Amino acid sequence: MASRHLTRRLVEVVIAVAMVASYVSVPFLVLPNLCSRPQEAFAWPQYRFVVEGQQSQTSGQVSNQRLAKQSLSVPQVQIKARGTAQPVIVPTMHNYEWERKFWCETSASDFAVGLFTLLLGIATYFLWVATERLAVGGDEQAKKMLEGIKATLAVAERTKEVSDAMEEAASAMRQAAGISEATLLQTKKDSQRELRAYISVEPAAINSLIRSREARGQVTIRNVGKIPAHGVAAFVHMFMSGEDSPSISKCEGDDVTVKRTIQPGTEMRRGSNEALPISELINPGKNAFVWGVVYYDNGYGERCITRFCHKYPTASFNRLVNWIAMYEETKIVIAKEKARFHHTGNDAN
């Protein structure tokens, strides 16, 4: 800004000098014969001193008589010289030739050219001032635009930072939502696992049939869960084997047509489909196996299964009863306390 201010001042000085030169040049433009007659145009009248009527003439001077004979009247003044009694007659130093030429010999075209030159200088000055103002205004406008661009870039950068922060927050929220959803699902599963119906199958002895020499294996199906078990379908079988770990055949499939329901904490008894002779069950050295499967709905629309296999050794039969006779009521052939959960055939989901 300091260099710009100094340049402006220098330009103003140059324009002012040009204007003055234009103004001064006007008389020289209108005096075409001035340069060809420098002595007549610029010569001033010489001085002559007259003391007590005596004439004394210096080199290059003219006499008062000669001045008096000239066509132009030259005004004179009287002064007293030191040491003299008579006044000295001295003509005034004025040349009327320049004014005569300026006012009498100046043409309209020459005057118009000089005036136009002056006006052109003035117009040039004001044009430069206007141009300078436009330049300054342009610089200020460019500076403001640059500041605006910088502000816009700063806002854009800030917006980008906010956008990135929002994206990170959204990602964190999505992760949190995913974690929350996973936690919710896990909580739901845990809650269902804790509250669902669970079917347990327990031994209930091998009992004789009324007025028969045969017996059937019995089981107790209990709901140990906290909500009802629906559609409970139970399949119970029994067989004798001299082996300690016989192979167990595949059980029947699920029967979804059964509408049986077992409430929480309640139980139901179920006998085996097969009946075995009591004479075999009281013959030591063998094992009776009561096995089967129970299908049910755990209360959340899922079908679950419980497999069971109970092992009764025949050596543990009830010796307090005469098994040759037939009775009007059922008798326990092998008590449930003698049963054991076999090492295979017991699982659940």
Residue 109, pLDDT > 50, answer yes
Residue 34, pLDDT > 90, answer no
> Higher confidence at residue 88 or residue 41?
88
Using a 10 angstrom Cβ sphere, with 0-12 exposed, 13-18 middle and 19 or more buried, the burial of residue 62 is middle
Residue 77, pLDDT > 60, answer no
pLDDT of amino acid 69: 42
Query: Do 204 and 317 reside in the same domain of the chain?
Result: yes
Answer yes or no: is 279 within a domain: yes
The predicted model gives 309-320 an average pLDDT of 94
Cβ atoms of residues 208 and 264 within 8 Å: no
Residue 223, pLDDT > 50, answer yes
pLDDT of amino acid 44: 42
- Per-residue pLDDT band for 180 (boundaries 50, 70, 90) equals confident
Residue 287 DSSP SS3: strand
User: Measured between alpha carbons, how far is 223 from 229 in angstroms, rounded to an integer?
Assistant: 7
pLDDT digits (tens, 9 = 90+) for 118-148: 888 888 888 888 888 888 888 888 888 999 9
pLDDT of amino acid 57: 43
Query: Do 119 and 204 reside in the same domain of the chain?
Result: no
Query: Do 125 and 216 reside in the same domain of the chain?
Result: no
User: Measured between alpha carbons, how far is 266 from 103 in angstroms, rounded to an integer?
Assistant: 145
pLDDT of amino acid 61: 44
pLDDT of amino acid 233: 94
pLDDT digits (tens, 9 = 90+) for 85-103: 555 554 544 455 655 566 5
* 3-state percent helix, strand, coil for the chain, nearest multiple of 5: 40, 25, 35
Residue 66, pLDDT > 50, answer no
User: Measured between alpha carbons, how far is 197 from 110 in angstroms, rounded to an integer?
Assistant: 127
pLDDT digits (tens, 9 = 90+) for 226-238: 999 999 999 999 9
Boundary residue ending a domain (132, 160, 180): 132
Boundary residue ending a domain (76, 104, 132): 132
Q: Which domain holds residue 39?
A: 2-132
Answer yes or no: is 213 within a domain: yes
Residue 43, pLDDT > 50, answer no
Query: Do 203 and 341 reside in the same domain of the chain?
Result: yes
